[in-house]
Structure 1
Amino acid sequence: MKNLFILLISFAVLSCSSTKQEESPQWSQKMVESHGLVDFYTNRHHQAKLADTGWDYVSGLVASAVLKAWIMYPEKTEYYDAVKAFADRNLNEDGTMMLDSKGGAALRPSNIDDLPAGRIFFALYEEEMRKGNTKDAERYKTGATVIRNTLKHDHARIAAGLPGAGGFFHKAIYPNQMWLDGLYMGSPIYAQWQDAFGQTDANENSESWEDIAQQFKTIHKFTYNPEKQLNYHAWSATPADSNSFWANSTEPFSGCSKEFWGRGMGWYFAALVDVLEYMPKDHKDYNDVLQIYHQVAAGLKRWQDQESGVWYQLLQYDATTTADGKGDTIAGETYNVGTAPNYLEASCSSIFTYAYLKGIRLGLLDKAAYVPVAEKAYQGLLTNFIREADGKTNVIQTCASAGLGPAKDPSRTGTINYYLSGKDVTIVENEGKAIGTFIMASLEYEDYMRTNKK
């Protein structure tokens, strides 16, 4: 009865808050039309138009979010047309090659960031088949298959004999490293392909799901800190390698990076819920992946900022934590000098909100425990990050990028100083990584509001 009472109170809060939202256009559509179709940034590079944007994971994220908006609001045919134009610009005639700006292969060897833009191919395939346009539909199916096969069969993995054997490298330039980001870049498109096209061979299908699950089980084993209930940004199976200079060399977290980065955990949380959407519930590894998702959900609930409802760039600290003004000294050179404070960050907060709301929709999370978290988070997004000016909806306070190494880039140390004062870790607005994730969070919220009014 107590849980039922909490659930009823939560629904009442959601219903009251929905009244205000209904008075204006949906936030998902406002963001799509302000910055999804046009005028967004991909890693600080300005993009004037989605349909003309090149192949990368940021433009792919925006395209995927716009396509999800079309699925919810099919009368917005211009959304679909823009995503189709983006796909056609970046896919060759027979679907066997994603193209870079010069017309060459956009899928670089063992670069997991090159893969997730292909998630748009599934909905495009279904829609073009519905229209009877089998030529384009088959191109999109081929493109999705090329990406899945590139990951499964050709992508570099941690070698046998090393801890985490079989884990996908984040990139070839980061040998034997797995990053939380990479779980989002590779596993969901692998999972969606298995669901859409992988049913013909039962044995291979089961083995592929085992492979997908193993990626999560591996990185969670090595990066999860049970005391903090958070995952370190990255882990190296060979911490003594020069490209892993940022890694902890001692137990209990040997090979781990030093901090809990918001967006890295966001990609990880979203990857878990996106994979669970498609993973067969009777697969032997399903409950293991679900348990990891529950652990991540509980940890992020703990670190949600109670005043704002959103999350900080560095999850375990608040704004009183700053870069130390001294920087990081590597091989006699000093980097990341500054005193910038920790800050509430838009992209991680948006993707956490998405992953909570989607988990609630799919029945993966207890509503009594997590509806208040998700509701507070979504209202926090609107209050802290969304600004309207000159007829446009803008998103502020986003981390432009962050990474670790390699050896040729010793400034990317993975320290507090780096995540707050690093040369590439600048705070920007209207960045695609926040635009796409805000659209996704808004769509889930709008669906939840609509469903719970019935």
Structure 2
Amino acid sequence: MRKYVIVALLPILLMACGQNQNNKATLWSHKMVDSHGLGDFYCNRHYQSKLDSTGWDYVSGLVAGAVLETWKQYPEKKAYYQSVKAFADLNLNEDGTMIINSKGGSALRPSNIDDLPAGRIYFTLYEEELRKGNTKDANRYRNAVDLIRNTLKYNHSRIAAGLPGAGGFFHKAIYPNQMWLDGLYMGSPIYAQWESTFGKTDSVEFNRSWDDIALQFKTIHQKTYDVEKQLNYHAWSATPADSNSFWANQQDPFLGSSPEFWARGMGWYFAALVDVLEFMPEDHSSYREIVDIANQVAAGLKRWQDDGSGLWYQLLQYDADMTADGKGDRVAGEVYNIGHAANYLESSASCIFTYAYLKGIRLGLLDKATYLPIAEKAYQGILETFIKEQQNDSKIDIVQICASAGLGPAKDPSRTGTINYYLAGKDVTVVENEGKAIGTFILASLEYEQMNDIIR
């Protein structure tokens, strides 16, 4: 009798074995790097045919960084490293003292925090070229990260003393006294990694720098976190009456905050928390507070995860029943953001949330029993909803990406931060194969693959 049971079960066992082999063979990080990481992607709607000929930008830097992380996890992929090195070299002068733009000038615009995060690739390049004995390039890369860290720490505009949030970094010079969730990702992780890598020789300055990094998170969390909704508003202004802050709440509660919870903004913030905590000394006086903030964010996003798909909507507190109202937003007598577009599951945010959950679990910052099911469901949802196989090709595409979103300034009154804006704004279009989703999908996939390797 027992042998007949074995025979009956054999096809099922073989099928399961084949599925396991297929799952093991499908490295989605590789598939995305090969499809769009090395080229054929968009940076804020500008098409890039090759990574190694792409200019300096936080989006191209995100893609390059994800490709480089793939090489670190799979070092046999030497072409990945070479492509990122070529990108890095293209955008750096001879001795590494200037990040250069296409016209030969500095790519680091005054107090523009978006210009900084691409420099994270130089840490790995520095270490690898130093290991190879290529001190010339290693020194160039060290100079580059020194430049970026010093530009942020010493030269970037901050909210002035006497204002709420004093010491917080401006998001950009054109957004005076404003902090956006996005900016925490753009500035703080490279600042933190520099301190961890090079800053320990001066203990006094080292501690001051970590105080400074912690201040950024504590300030924006205090100003934007809604305890009832368990979410952070996209941005906050210390001077809400300023014309560039026309979108800001003009009275309590949440004086100075923008009116909605934008998914990718929270994604940048969540990723910034886990990326910084990877390097933050555990004995720092603010370490536990920053860990607590990361757990508050994780709990809030768990609450607003879509039950069916495991993904997240463009506007986090609503589902697909929410639409732009068709009437638009009236600003200074003009009407903007007219349309009826519906809220939608958004891929870049879903990818970066998944990355941050998985990395936070791996680092011991988030409870595995609570959050691993959330991350696993999200990752499967990403594959099922956003990843599309190209016909007659081995390539994949990623879809349902918010191209961009922002707030103001005064010269762009259409960027109101309302439901109408995030769903029907002229710059908030839905695109595919944009670097902000390509890079975050690769990073999420690497964490997922690493988790599976540990389990196996």
Structure 1: stretches of 5+ with no match in the other structure:
1-14
CA displacement at 1:25 relative to structure 2? 3.0
Partner Cα distance (1:71, 1:77) in 2:
10
Deviation per residue, 1:246-271 (Å, 9 max, x gap)? 00001010000010000000000000
Specify the alignment match of 2:157 in structure 1: 156
Counterpart Cα distance in 2 of 1:398 and 1:159: 36
Query: Which residue is equivalent to 1:116?
Result: 117
For 1:16 and 1:224, the matched residues in 2 are separated by 47
Q: What is the aligned partner in structure 2 of residue 415 from structure 1?
A: 418
Distance 1:243 1:59 in 2: 28
Question: Given residue 201 of structure 1, which amino acid in structure 2 is its aligned partner?
Answer: D
Change (3 A) 1:21 1:263: farther
More moved, 401-410 vs 23-32: 23-32
The superposition leaves residues 255-297 of structure 1 with CA deviations (integer Å, 9 ceiling, x where unpaired) of: 0001000000000000000000000000111011101001000
Equivalent of residue 427 in structure 1, options 421, 425, 430: 430
Q: Give the drift of 1:19.
A: 2.5
TM-score for both structures, normalised by structure 2: 0.95
1:291 matched to 2:292? yes
Q: Is the 8 A contact 1:18 1:449 kept in 2?
A: no
CA distance in 1, matches of 2:423, 2:18: 34
Detail structure 1 runs of 4+ shifted over 4 Å in the superposition.
15-18
Alignment of 1:198-277 (within 5 A): 198-277=199-278
**1:304-341, CA deviations, whole angstroms, 9 ceiling, x for partnerless residues?**
00100010000000000000000001011100000000
1:194 aligns to what SS in structure 2? helix
Q: Is the 8 A contact 1:238 1:244 kept in 2?
A: yes
Deviation, structure 1 residue 18? 8.6
Matched ranges for 1:14-413 at <5 A: 19=20, 22-389=23-390, 390-413=393-416
3-state DSSP of counterpart to 1:311: coil
How far apart are residue 17 of structure 1 and its match? 12
Q: In angstroms, what is the RMSD of aligned CA positions? A: 1.2
Give, in angstroms, the shift of residue 20 of structure 1: 6.5
TM-score (norm 1): 0.96
Partner letter of residue 422 of structure 2? Y
State the 1:391 CA deviation.
2.3
| C-alpha distance 103-46 of structure 1, shift in aligned 2 (>3 A) | same
Residue 16 of structure 1 deviates from its aligned partner by: 10
**SS at structure 2 position matched to 1:198:** helix
Describe the SS at the equivalent of 1:166.
coil
- Provide the residue aligned with 1:10 in structure 2: none
Aligned residues: 439
Measure the CA separation in 1 of the matches of 2:17 and 2:178.
Answer: 46
Q: Which runs of 5+ in 2 are unaligned?
A: 1-15
Superimposed CA distance per residue, residues 127-149 of structure 1 (whole angstroms, 9 cap, x where no aligned partner): 00010001100100110010000
